[in-house]
Amino acid sequence: MQTSSLEPLPPSVCHNMPGLQMLARQGQVRHYRKHTLLIQQGDTGHQLYLVTAGRLREFAVSSDSRPREITLSLMGAGQLVGVSALDGGPHCASVVTLSPVSCCVISRESALAVLQQSPALAMDLLKLALQRVRTATETTRLALFSDAYSRLSALLQRAEQDMDGLQGQPRRLPMTHAQMAQQIGCSREMVSRIMKELITGGYVVREPDKVYRVRKRLPERW
């Protein structure tokens, strides 16, 4: 991990939430390598991470004799990680870096002090928290009430609908079959089998850089 001085956050990171810039001024920029575990499920949080660059995975682990993982969300620039630290309670999920990541790290005490003085920041955090609740609720709903194909189809379609702002082009899915399986809660073999059939049917194309793009409307059922 490396530490550097704070630079102004670009507008794309703040997502039209000026309160985040105020929060960032209370922290320090740190750089983490790929596969760094930032947050451990069950640990008590003492700091928040405002992501300025890179990608992270939030996941939960079962407590049985054969632990299983399910990805709750993938996060990037502009996301605030570790918000549960604000109430002093334990983290309900773990967070690991999927690429080199830069974050502005803010202590719990500093964040609470700013919140008491800034209604704008409180509203920004509420918006982010509600976005995370929606994402987690949809992930749970799909995991409990749908089959593997429906979950994979929803994952592919969400990526197509999430525009990255570069000339209106949809964001691609830089995920392996194993990462897809973790996100939708099934085996890698099941994902590979479904993806093979989708590619054969011309619904999905695998590009040279190993990412996937939906070419036409996916079937409702497989």
Is residue 18 over pLDDT 70? Answer: no
161 vs 135: which has the higher pLDDT: 135
For the stretch 84-142, pLDDT in tens is: 888 888 998 999 999 999 999 999 999 999 888 888 788 878 887 887 788 778 777 87
Separation CA 90–CA 112 (nearest Å): 17
Instruction: Write b or e for each residue in 185-204: b if 16 or more Cβ atoms lie within 10 A of its Cβ, otherwise e.
Output: bbeeebbeebbeebeeeebb
Confidence of residue 11 (pLDDT cuts 50, 70, 90): low
Which residues is 37 bridged to in the sheet? 96
Average pLDDT of the segment spanning 78-82: 88
Q: What is the pTM of this model?
A: 0.70
Of 142, 111, 93, give the one whose Cα is nearest residue 49. 111
Separation CA 29–CA 21 (nearest Å): 13
Confidence of residue 56 (pLDDT cuts 50, 70, 90): very high
**All domains of the chain in start order, with CATH:** 2-145 (2.60.120.10), 148-214 (1.10.10.10)
